[in-house]
Structure 1
């Protein structure tokens, strides 16, 4: 069974800052290399086709990246000119709005993976985008706690804030072990040496019991998709361990209140009597 389709690479190409043009050309067909405008148009068309493909497969949610016009300016130095961020999100919204409409026509939610390197990399940036697309109902979140942990966000409270917009869930572990030498930014080190690293399920620091509990509490009914990325463990071992790890965390929602056995009959008059109040006149 196919649980979802993904256009992460194509979504990335919807918005690329010129500083990254050469690097991201590899995500596009060779005939588009060195042609950023044509590459963007190709990516937008690919997303629209993905909406139709998802619809034909009977899928209701689709995974993608937002791309980034502003990522080179994520840290406010040099000082950003007034209006730069607003202009960036307005342009991002202009490019994504017709794609969102295509997904709406297909009856499929478009779930942006909240991810460093994208303009939509945390809750605040997702809110900016949502406002710029007039709270489009198809603009949803692909929730992956590993990317939130490495930014030192509260990934559980994130669910409390945005559960109505969470349309997909990737189950991926991570750990963050800062020291006196490097922290969130990682000092340009490789994945093994960085304080923040992706790990196989169960080997990291993420509280998956808390995550599954919250998603169940809010009625999330999508897939729990195993995503393996680990700089230490082999992929085959990670997959063999990851599937039962997810199965062990799945929660069957309660069919009734746990204290039903102690339930008592109630009526307005009885409730007033218990509170020591006179009957209604």
Structure 2
């Protein structure tokens, strides 16, 4: 058997979880990766209600769906970010509060600690998410940025996330940063520096998503090879670079789905990611976890895309060989 193929529910949070469970089973998925928003998985309820997690499990079991991970990208973003009005739209009201940045950050930190505790109650070993970044706005080095400002950004990340990772360690749960523009780790070298900042502690690894690398010009396969022991979860998502001489990879402040953009997300198998090479690389590092579809194609019907993506992932996956091809030539 190949790896289980799951559907990340973040882009489906407008639907009640039970409706999505029914759809996911019809589409051909083996399980779900629950987002910590909508009614899919609510951290505060998981902490306060001792029956909440068991009821979520029962709902998935009703539709013969497995559960390997939950994801709290939105709250994680507020831990290290420079908080502004954008964050109000993505945070629970009890985390946003009065919007005072110091209070928002403090509540976001506590919510991420509670996410680890909730994962333990749910019997899930992986939480995926974002970290935010206080230095992302410095990505283009003008006015010239003193190295001390970048150093301070990584130190702030370590100061804020090490206490969160302490709770993850106590709970026996790992955190997978989705390496992504806007995060403290967004490519190979910044991801390496992120690990160095927290002394490469075992609780912290990566939710590998090739779509965020390919448009930056980074080979996703090289990311797997660089971090063979830190691939804690895998998102299957595609992207296409569509540079036409007018647009660039910075996207011109044009929203996703607009054909003028220099790149955009695509349904799995319809972009530029070489998924067969990714499977071979995952086999080489002995990754046996799920392949979780994160569906974000603004130009395609999502039901059609999600079903097609499930079929694609089942078909592209394969087990490594257990024999050398030339073994039969010997004695």
For normalisation by structure 2, the TM-score amounts to 0.76
Counterpart position of 2:33: none
Displacement of 1:7 in angstroms is: 0.8
Measured after TM superposition, the shift of residue 241 of structure 1 is 0.4
1:116-265 correspondence to structure 2 within 5 Å: 116-191=181-256, 192=258, 193-264=260-331
Counterpart of 1:268 in structure 2 is: none
**Which residue of structure 1 lines up, in the alignment, with residue 25 of structure 2?**
none
Q: Tell me by how many angstroms 1:255 deviates.
A: 2.5
| Aligned CA distance change for structure 1 residues 194 and 160 (closer, same or farther; 3 Å) | same
Q: Provide the aligned length of Structure 1 versus Structure 2.
A: 262
Correspondence for 1:23:
86
Structure 1 residues 177 and 36: alpha-carbon distance in aligned structure 2, compared to 1, 3 A threshold: same
Distance 1:116 1:55 in 2: 29
CA distance in 1, matches of 2:175, 2:330: 43
Give the secondary structure class of the aligned counterpart of 2:232: strand
CA distance in 1, matches of 2:239, 2:187: 16
Secondary structure of the structure 2 residue equivalent to 1:11: helix
Which stretches in structure 2 are left out of the alignment for 5+ residues? Answer: 1-65
Shift of 1:70: 0.5
Give the deviation of 1:210 after TM superposition: 0.6
Q: Is the 8 A contact 1:28 1:39 kept in 2?
A: no
- Say whether the 8 Å CA contact 1:7–1:63 is kept in structure 2: yes
Encode CA deviations 1:218-238: one digit per residue, 9 max, x unaligned. Answer: 100111001100121011011
CA distance in 1, matches of 2:277, 2:308: 20
1:41 Cα deviation after fit: 1.3
In 2, the alpha carbon distance for the partners of 1:82 and 1:124 equals: 15
Q: Judge conservation of contact 1:26–1:33 (CA < 8 Å) in 2.
A: no
CA contact (8 A) 2:68 2:125 kept: no
Instruction: Name the CA distance, whole Å, in 2 between partners of 1:260 and 1:53.
Output: 49
What residue in structure 1 maps to residue 135 of structure 2? Answer: 70
Give CA deviations for 1:26-60 in whole Å, capped at 9, x if unaligned: 23344613211111111111111111222222222
Give TM-score, length-normalised by structure 1. 0.89
How far 1:166 moved relative to its partner? 1.0
What are structure 1's unaligned runs of at least 5 residues? 265-281
User: Is it true that 1:49 corresponds to 2:124 in the alignment?
Assistant: no
Larger radius of gyration, structure 1 or 2? 1
Q: What is the CA-CA distance between 1:105 and the residue it aligns to?
A: 1.3
Instruction: Indicate the structure whose relative CO is greater, using CA pairs within 8 Å and at least 6 residues apart.
Output: 2
What do the CA deviations read for 1:144-176 (whole angstroms, capped 9, x no partner)?
000001111111111111121111100001100
Measure how far apart 1:104 and its partner are.
1.1
Q: What are the superposed Cα offsets for residues 160-206 of structure 1, whole Å, 9 maximum, x if unpaired?
A: 11121111100001100212212111111222221111011121111
